[in-house]
Every structure is written in C-alpha cells, then in structure tokens.
C-alpha cells in the first residue's frame, strides 16, 4: 500500500477581519480645509449602507457641529433626531441601507457612524461635510440718490 501526504489547503482564522463595515460615498474621511470640504445641500439625504456576515444588531448616526472655537458639539435642532438609532429591515439583517437628513443650518459637521453586529463587535467611522449656503444674497443699492437717474 502506497501512502502519499498532500496539503489540500490552509485554514486561516483572523477574528479582527470579521467586523461589520459601513459604506458611504458622501463626506470626507478626514477633516479638510473648508474650501476643499465635501458640500451637502441642506435637508438632503446623507446615505450609505452597512454590512455584516453575522448579522447587524444596531446602527447609530450622531451629528456634531463645529463650534466657533474649533471644537465639536452635538447638533441640536427642534424636530431633528440626534443621535439616531436606525431601524433595520429584519432582526440580524446582514445588509441595510440607511440615511439621515443633512442639517439645514449652515456650518461644518462631523457624522459619527457606528454599527454593531450580533456578537457586539463595533465599527465606527467619521464623515466630515459642510452645508451649502443656499440663502438669497443680500443686495443693498446705495445710489444714485435724489433727482439723478
């Protein structure tokens, strides 16, 4: 009887690779100078998706506004849910699309996005953006005055 040893493959276990992930093409991954920052229309939808092979337990978005001193404060406006716990399409879904409304106030913002899988493994990313100034321009006519045409 002839016996031959063969390697049929390898099994690699890397538990850090099994984390949930968040996808969004909106916003910058790092804070930019205001002139180069990703710009969003006020009140538009900030959208993306979340994935995990084990099942998603929770997805939360929290929006912070940059204050005058350069720090971040939790954005608060009447009727604006922040932080927002997003509803999922089913219990332990492996994929879900998500969205939240871009604040209507002009400013620079940071969206902290956090997804947790059913084994409590969490992934958090930040997205930076500014709102477009869509207010009407203020025009003042200073002349001509009196009888001049």
* Stretch 54-78: mean pLDDT: 95
Do residues 26 and 38 touch, judged by C-beta distance below 8 A? yes
Q: Give yes or no for residue 60 having a pLDDT over 90.
A: yes
Answer whether residue 33 shows pLDDT above 60: yes
What pLDDT sits at residue 149?
A: 56
Q: Is the pLDDT of residue 65 over 80?
A: yes
Q: What's the whole-model pTM score?
A: 0.80
Q: Which of 58, 35, 33, 59 is nearest to 47 (CA)?
A: 59
Percent of the chain with pLDDT over 90: 69
- Mean pLDDT, to the nearest integer, of 56-82? 95
Whole-number pLDDT of residue 1: 58
| Contacts for 39 with CB less than 8 Å, ≥ 6 apart | 129, 130, 131, 132
List alpha helices for 14-138, DSSP H: none
User: Does residue 24 have a pLDDT over 60?
Assistant: yes
Is the peptide bond preceding residue 83 cis, with omega within 30 degrees of 0?
yes
- At 6 the pLDDT is 77
3-state helix, strand, coil in the chain (%, to 5): 5, 40, 60
User: Is residue 121 scored above 90 in pLDDT?
Assistant: yes
Q: What was the pLDDT predicted at 145?
A: 72
Residue 102 banded pLDDT, cuts 50, 70, 90: very high
- Nearest by Cα to 57 from 17, 85, 16: 85
């Amino acid at each position: 009887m002839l016996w031959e040893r063969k390697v049929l493959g390898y099994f690699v276990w890397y538990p850090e690779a099994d984390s949930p992930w968040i996808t969004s093409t909106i916003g910058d991954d790092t804070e930019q100078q205001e002139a180069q920052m990703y710009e969003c229309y006020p009140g538009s939808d900030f959208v993306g998706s979340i994935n995990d092979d084990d099942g998603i337990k929770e997805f939360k978005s929290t929006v912070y506004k940059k204050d005058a001193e350069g720090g971040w404060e939790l954005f608060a406006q009447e009727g604006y849910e922040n932080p927002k716990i997003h509803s999922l399409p089913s219990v332990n879904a492996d994929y879900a699309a998500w969205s939240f409304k871009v604040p209507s106030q002009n400013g620079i913002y940071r969206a902290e996005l956090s997804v947790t899988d059913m084994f409590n493994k969490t992934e958090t990313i930040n997205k930076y953006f500014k709102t477009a100034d869509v207010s009407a321009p203020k025009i003042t006519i200073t002349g001509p005055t009196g009888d001049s045409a």
